[in-house]
Amino acid sequence: MLFNSYEFIFLYLPIVLVIYFFLGSRKKYEFATTWLVLSSIFFYGYWDCRYVSLLLASICFNYIIGRMIERKSRKRIFLIIGLAVNILLLGYYKYTGFFMEQINATMGTDMIIPHIVLPLGISFFTFTQSAYLIDAYRGETTGYSFKTYCLFVTVFPHLIAGPIIYHKDMIPQFMNKANCHINYDNMAMGLALFSVGLFKKIVIADNISIWVNSIFNHYDQLNFLEAWAGALGYTFQLYFDFSAYSEMAIALGLMLNLRLPVNFNSPYQALSIIDFWRRWHMTLGTWVKSYLYIPMGGNRHGEFAKMRNLFVSMLIIGLWHGAGWTFIFWGGMHGLLLMINHQDRKSTRLNSSHILGPKPICWALTFFSVMLAWIFFRADSFAQALQIIHSMFDFQDIYIAAANWRVEKNAVNVWSAIAGLGILIWLPNPIIMLRKFKANWIWYAITLIALLISLYQMNTYTEFLYFQF
């Protein structure tokens, strides 16, 4: 079941909300929690009921390990066991095929690579629960009930594609009985944000995807302008697609009186790579910093160790996104760019709140670097990525491409690109805009128009890009 489907919007969501708040109005708080857990598990199982058992087994295992760690008897051993099982589970489903391919290529073997279907959301619920175990080891958790823990892991707005949530932020909200009663301000804000996110997915991201897929599928036949159109197109598509999901998740949380963490803060307005990673997929960045970068030593053991830890963290981020060398290379590119950015700031004695040079130049360099890296993120192979980049810098072809460029044929794409760039550069993201939200006729109109246009164009269901991660 997808957020951008009729069955979710007109059946699942209304039923869940009505029954949840009905139970809350009758002060049946335990039943309300149980209902939310069961409905979230149903939401997950709607995709493939075979993997419900995997999700439940993961929840039971991590809950038991967490309680054993909280007893402070041999807690280090239990932490190692818990993290090892989580890593092995994620590794089996996500990386078995990739590693076997590498063994076959390097050793000359001919092992049969099994077809393993990647369970939806496994990266997200594995990271969420691994963070919980580490926090338990640090003494930052208390004895949560099994039902509350289940809700923490499964609550349907975040389960499949994030944002990554943390027990200290969410579980107190689950335990607040007031949240079981309808809040009309939160409901209005949630509906507005959900409609905007749905519009971004259906009307913008899905339409751009047709254009982008065509360009990447014919990567060996591109001219100068088409290559640039493909690179820019995917840069926009990925942002609108993933930010749409994150905003729709936050919106659904608001309808349930839950405050999910913000995942984006206008990342394409960033003036440096450091600034970009403070704005892009913010919950992943927080997770990597808290549970990977700092435990490896962070910046506490000298400049070389800091750069090493930074680079390794970005390589792991790349591998987390996908089992392929192009993803690892993408992570390495960002790791290298971050190292350069940090060294530039250090050499000029500027702190991280400053930028190097005029703002337009800083923005242009940052945006170009991010866009170039996205090509490897999207490409099926290095050959595909390198061919597209070669076409982007084939200046001998620019005159031929310009001569054959039909304005009347490509006007929609051109104006869409200009409009998209303008939105991403100048407008604040919807989350920031909603901080000053007031239910009035303007927001009613925005919500209604965005919803109606989206529903009109929602003739096919397309998965969100981050489902594959």
Respond yes or no: is residue 301 known to be catalytic: no
CB 57 within 8 A of CB 123: no
User: What is the rounded average pLDDT of the residues 160-165?
Assistant: 82
Query: Is the previous residue joined to 163 through a cis bond, with omega within 30 degrees of 0?
Result: yes
Q: pLDDT class for 316, splitting at 50, 70, 90?
A: very high
Amino acid code (one letter) for 53: S
What is the predicted pLDDT for the residue at 353?
46
Q: Which residue in 321, 334, 342, 390 is the catalytic one?
A: 321
Q: For the chain, what are the domain ranges?
A: 6-181, 186-271+355-468
User: Within 13 Å and on the Cβ side, how many CA atoms surround 1?
Assistant: 20
Give 402-449 pLDDT, tens digit per residue.
Answer: 555 554 444 455 555 556 566 665 666 666 666 777 777 777 787 888
Q: What is the pTM of this model?
A: 0.88
Distance CA 221, CA 83 (A): 46
What is the predicted pLDDT for the residue at 347?
66
Give 163-176 pLDDT, tens digit per residue.
Answer: 888 888 899 999 89
Nearest C-alpha neighbor of 137 from the set 96, 193, 79: 79
> Quick check: 202 pLDDT over 90?
no
What are the percentages of helix, strand and coil residues in the chain, rounded to 5? 75, 0, 25
Distance CA 409, CA 38 (A): 50
User: What is the rounded average pLDDT of the residues 382-407?
Assistant: 74
Query: Helix or strand or coil: residue 248?
Result: helix
Q: pLDDT class for 1, splitting at 50, 70, 90?
A: confident
Distance CA 198, CA 465 (A): 14
Give 125-139 pLDDT, tens digit per residue.
Answer: 899 999 999 999 998
